[in-house]
Structure 1
Amino acid sequence: MTHIALLSQTSKLEYLGPLLQAALPAAHCSVWPDPACLDAEVAVCWNTPPGLYEQMPRLRLVHSIAAGVDNILPGSSGTGLPVCRVVDEGLTRGMVEYVMWAVLHFHRGFDLALRQQRSHRWSRPPLRPAGECRVGIMGLGALGRSVAARLLAEGYRVGGWARGAHAIDGVATHAGPTGLQDFLASTDILVNLLPLTDDTRGILGQALFSRLPQGACVVGCGRGEHLVAEDLIAALQSGHLRGAVLDVFPQEPLDAASPLWDMPQIVVTPHMATMASPAAVVRQVAENIRRLQGGQPLLNLVDAARGY
């Protein structure tokens, strides 16, 4: 019998227990903070309580319930445990839809129309073709590539930036610190899809914003810790940036007192861009448990040292 621990300090993962046991009849699930979790062989996680893995001597696998792993990695790299994430076609489709909406929000001037509505002012925003709108994507993994493909199909000029070099047909790609300046200078709408690592924490800050063209817009749907909120507010108030669509925040839920709520240039959404379906999570976790038991290579294995 495989003992699975459902671990989170912020989310209720109880719903996964019956689904996992249906997929793996011989499995047994415990839900944190049940002390029985400490005896588990597999941890299925989102925002794991700090220091918990070290208290689990039988642990053999750490598995995220999503594509992101930054909030389940701390404490795992030192143990040498394999860490896996979920890759789901529905999750990718959801992110593509969200980014397309956010890009259209700025490209078609819906942000300007909404602000004019509040002041009862009638003024038609200029209509420009997609080919005159430059969209830059930070992060060129599976999500970034899928977003780029959809934007290209709609006629946008698409650029991309990542830590390492990538070649994507139709996309002007840039890499590393030396490529960042040219990438930012040629971006009207910046879409952040980077993983969260020590190098990317706080990347959406004053130094980056100042290198974007006057009137550029930001779409934040990577990780909340990428954003330095006060720097974004300052860039919007100065008029250097035109607007932002934000789906993720350093602390969630976003504090009711945060000034981000009330800035007319910002759209706040409640971390809704996309998520893996429960069926996809269970299917991939169950398959990796079978592979673990059979000594086979694991699916969607994460490089813990790189953080993704």
Structure 2
Amino acid sequence: MDFGRLITAMVTPFNANGEINWDETSRLIDYLIEEQKTDSIVVAGTTGESPTLSDDEKLKLFQFVVEHAAGRSKVIAGTGSNNTAHSVELTQKAEQCGVDGILLVAPYYNKPNQEGMFLHFKAIAESTKLPIMLYNVPGRTGVSISAATTLRLAQIPNIVATKECVSLDQITQIAAGAPEGFITYSGDDSSALPALSVGAYGIVSVASHIAGKQMKDMIEAYVQGNVQEAAKLHQKLFPLFKGLFECPNPLPNPSAVKFALIERGYQVGGVRLPLISPSESEAAYIRKVLEDL
């Protein structure tokens, strides 16, 4: 399965009552595919506020996005958790919804060792025919899938990719040792271009909600050997990459990008507690980042 080089981790639009806004979800899907040129969409990932979505909401989202995307992009369902049996069940139900792939975050909070994580992912992979992307984000989960464990998991036929939010060193190790067909994505927008230079294939992005087309141009410039042009695009986009997370103090994703989308005319609503929307000063900072872009 080729998920493409630009994957957007889609926000989940909410209405004023905090419920999923299905009309705006349709608009957002069209916008991401047609205007921002995303190759694939992750549904119910971190940016989609997976911790505060119910299983019923996730399954309805999976089906809705599959039907509305209608083959224009791949749809990847976030079904990972720190409960292996629950992840197996949700993965199997996602497969029935017609998604193209699965995103599995490292099991958080209970802090398994490397063997426990290997067996966790192996059990989920064996429960489905769908291609799987691992998601390594120790800043959120409290555990890190080692490069050695990732390469071991890469031997399982339907574990085909990893999204890495660790370091360029780790991306380098995985890219160097991976079997043919296993690909590595950066999960950090600001590291997208550096990650390509050490063997990553693409980016699972938040900033692509706002600048997906420019990011696609940056990736294509690098792949075609126009490194200077890619660097110029990276430099232009860098304030956005940082601004959506630091504005100017660390702001949990997806608070900033949801506000940025609202500024661009997409009524995606606020975030569910315990996340909160940007303060007045943070909102002013995000507006300035968008104006400068």
TM-score bracket for this pair, using the shorter chain length: 0.3 to 0.5
Greater strand proportion: 1
- The higher radius of gyration belongs to 1
TM-score, length-scaled by structure 1: 0.35
Greater helix proportion: 2
